[in-house]
Structure 1
């Protein structure tokens, strides 16, 4: 078992060593998409890091532009990297609230409304977390082109459907509450895919 673990560690470090960059500051420009069960976002993410070769640390500002509800989020973050893998932790600020024709969201008689976990007074208090994989492998001009894939966690606008059954008001309340909490809890998790361009400064 120890031999298997040692071989696995050796292979992992070998992969990381392929990523090793020249020590110094690095500028990353990233653009792509982020998806959740209710929304899709166009994203822009510039960041600056100091690369030691295998490890790097830095900061950035990721902007999310909602394609369904036209909501906008700004997420400043700090970032730590090990090889191609990274962890980003920061805050989510809702810069623009949702705009949509809610009547078009429901073909039945139930009432549909926005579920907004980031109301105005709470802006700046909601977390942003991303765990990702970002290899830069193709030399292009002064930098390298690559891709980024990540799991992101931050609250964003979703929908709540108010169950309207006149024969069961208690069931209405329970159904609405449970559906809203579960669906929008899942909505905080997003899948991000993007292209990156990295330049050693």
Structure 2
């Protein structure tokens, strides 16, 4: 069964005829970071690259190939024929990208908007680095633990109030006092 190129509006299929024309097909990389960069470069909504997904050689620059007609290991597809609504404007802009590797660095890049795809791919890599940072992981764990403590305290408070209600120890005055101090527990728990 012939394979189709995964790029938008590309009609190339892996057949004997395309092989005679010199069209080569290249599988999506197995390495997750690079695969994610390929998915971003394709700009296809909800597209997830599979091990069988391929791109034809028309979506790579000549310098992306090594002498054996194979792709270099770190290249990202960059040549596409997108419709007008997916094209980017040809204006220049500045982009600030923050990466963490041993220390916080600020990279200021001034490029034409036609290269925005490369910058999007850079940003995806930086986000992964930030998420894997030890400090971020520690803070997320502390936040999770604080939420669990809060839920345990609320649960304990509900149990105590329920017990007081069953023993008829909560009167209207106590109810008003608890309500005024902004205790955010369901009203049914403290009604006599």
How high is the TM-score relative to the length of structure 1?
0.20
Which has the larger strand fraction?
A: 1
Structure with bigger RCO (C-alpha 8 Å, 6+ apart): 1
Larger Rg: 2
How high is the TM-score relative to the length of structure 2?
0.21
Which has the larger helix fraction?
A: 2
